[in-house]
């Protein structure tokens, strides 16, 4: 990685602004945090900074989407301050605003590596537009900027790209780790390299599939998006999920992919989108009134075979509706196959596949689980990520 990291900068006595990703899932009824993984992932960077005696550490994060006053109330970051304080074992001062005297005074008066969490950056309309005035204002609060929100680096926002336009900047440990894992897998993989792509929509992953067909030795497709490919191959797909406007693109990908592209050969189907009904395995055409909800046992065996001897595996997107037990077998089988690959670099690309790996108990059996679904996908497309581009080069 040719970007500066926090090891390359002197923070002693300085006010360090840190973009973290505290966009944590919460219970809709109570607002309580249901998974604190993103807070935990930020701790190494925050603790390192504390040890190196800055004046203050000012944390910026978004939480949810903020379009209305109701959204503001729902996506208040104060719950994160409470959990972060528990995890750090050190007071965290929550500033319930995004600009003005209260924030400025809190930063000015802070000392001895005080930790300050600023209210949700998306309370500011200019955040997602990368408003230059907002980026400059936030930058004026500190001396140096650390980018540690991998889940947000694919967005050119004021807090990710605007602040570092005005300050010396470096990557935190989480961003460094993500670049090292995903960057190496895409630009210099140990071979054989296999990519597994699932999830619902072809449109989300067209560019990823195209790029990975150039890089990987094999590209495996599963999940709901397979049925657009099945239609492109001339199969009847019943009521299965399909993107009609992507069928021609799927045909092109099949032609480009040749033997490299591995598609399912059977499906677990049902006559309802539910965990009960007339559930059965089907090869070829899916009857009217039925929909494919998981890959079938023959497809699972094909995936296991394709993974034999793999040294690098990137997986993004589940193989079926894993939240429903009858349609979780494909996803569980991929988890098991990755967990049992000897000496392989296994990378889970965030989003639903990360949720599946954690929910199914395989988190400690893979090399790396990305904290950024969208960012890791765009990285795999070969795109330049604005938040990483903004970090100072070594």
Q: Quickly list DSSP for 355-381.
A: HHHHHTT-GGGSSEE-S-HHHHHHHHH
| Active-site annotation holds for 38 | yes
Q: Is 108 annotated as a binding residue?
A: no
Q: Is 21 annotated as a binding residue?
A: yes
* Rounded CA separation 322/311 (Å): 26
Residue numbers of the chain with a pLDDT score lower than 50: none
Which one from 351, 372, 373, 387 is the annotated catalytic residue? 351
* Whole-prediction pTM: 0.86
| Cα-Cα-Cα-Cα dihedral sign, residues 185, 188, 194, 196 | positive
Which one from 38, 55, 218, 329 is the annotated catalytic residue? 38
Q: What is the pLDDT of residue 301?
A: 98
Q: What is the pLDDT of residue 383?
A: 84
Q: What is the pLDDT of residue 79?
A: 95
Q: What is the pLDDT of residue 251?
A: 97
Q: Is 154 annotated as a binding residue?
A: no
Which one from 72, 201, 365, 383 is the annotated catalytic residue? 201
Same fold, 6-174 and 181-381: yes
pLDDT tens readout for residues 221-276: 999 999 999 999 999 999 999 999 999 999 999 999 999 999 999 999 999 999 99
| Active-site annotation holds for 201 | yes
Q: What is the pLDDT of residue 87?
A: 97
| Active-site annotation holds for 309 | no
pLDDT tens readout for residues 345-387: 999 987 788 888 888 888 899 999 988 878 888 888 888 899 9
Closest CA to 142 of 11, 249, 230, 38: 11
Spans of all domains in the chain:
6-174, 181-381
Residue 176's SS3 state is helix
DSSP 8-state code for residue 142: -
* Rounded CA separation 234/79 (Å): 51
Q: What is the pLDDT of residue 249?
A: 95
Q: Is 64 exposed, middle or buried (0-12, 13-18, 19+ CB in 10 A)?
A: middle
Q: Is 157 annotated as a binding residue?
A: no
Q: What is the pLDDT of residue 94?
A: 98
Q: Is 155 annotated as a binding residue?
A: yes
Give the list of residues 6+ apart from residue 6 with CB closer than 8 angstroms, or none. 45, 48, 49, 146, 170, 171, 172, 173
| 6-174: CATH number | 3.40.50.1260
Q: Is 205 annotated as a binding residue?
A: yes
| 181-381: CATH number | 3.40.50.1260
Q: What is the pLDDT of residue 264?
A: 98
| Active-site annotation holds for 284 | no
| Cα-Cα-Cα-Cα dihedral sign, residues 278, 279, 281, 284 | positive
Strand partners, 5: 171
């Amino acid at each position: 990685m040719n970007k500066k990291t926090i090891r390359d900068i002197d923070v002693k006595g300085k006010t360090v602004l840190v973009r973290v990703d505290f966009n944590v899932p919460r219970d809709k009824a109570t607002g309580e945090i249901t998974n604190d993984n993103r807070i935990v992932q930020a701790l190494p960077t925050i603790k390192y900074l504390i040890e190196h005696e800055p004046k203050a550490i000012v944390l910026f994060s978004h939480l949810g989407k903020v379009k209305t006053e109701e959204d503001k109330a729902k996506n208040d970051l104060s719950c994160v301050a409470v959990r972060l304080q528990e995890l750090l074992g050190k007071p965290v001062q929550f500033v319930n605003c995004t600009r003005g005297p209260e924030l400025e005074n809190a930063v000015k008066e802070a000392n001895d590596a005080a930790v300050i969490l600023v209210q949700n950056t998306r309370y500011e309309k200019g955040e997602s537009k990368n408003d230059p005035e907002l980026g400059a204002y936030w930058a004026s609060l500190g001396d140096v900027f650390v980018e540690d929100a991998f889940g947000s680096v694919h967005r050119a926002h004021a807090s990710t790209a605007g602040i570092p336009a005005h300050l010396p900047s470096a990557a935190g440990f989480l961003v460094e780790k993500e670049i090292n894992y995903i960057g190496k897998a895409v630009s210099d993989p140990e071979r054989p390299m296999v990519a597994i792509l699932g999830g619902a929509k072809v449109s989300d992953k067209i560019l990823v599939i195209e790029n990975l067909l150039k890089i990987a030795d094999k590209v495996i497709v599963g999940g709901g998006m397979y049925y657009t490919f099945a239609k492109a191959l001339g199969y009847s797909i019943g009521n299965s999920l399909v993107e009609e406007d992507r069928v021609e693109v799927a045909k092109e990908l099949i032609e480009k992919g040749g033997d490299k592209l591995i598609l399912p050969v059977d499906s677990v189907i049902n006559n309802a989108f539910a965990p009960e009904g007339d559930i059965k395995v089907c090869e070829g055409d899916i009857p009217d009134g039925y929909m494919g909800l998981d890959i079938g046992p023959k497809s699972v065996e094909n995936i296991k075979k394709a993974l034999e001897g793999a040294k690098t595996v990137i997986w993004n997107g589940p193989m079926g509706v894993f939240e429903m037990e009858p349609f979780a077998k494909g996803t569980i089988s991929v988890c098991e196959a990755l967990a049992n690959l000897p000496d392989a670099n296994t990378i889970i690309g965030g989003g639903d596949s990360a949720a599946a790996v954690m929910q199914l108990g395989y988190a400690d059996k893979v090399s790396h689980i990305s904290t950024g679904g969208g960012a890791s996908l765009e990285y795999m497309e070969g795109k330049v990520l604005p938040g990483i581009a903004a970090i100072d080069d070594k």
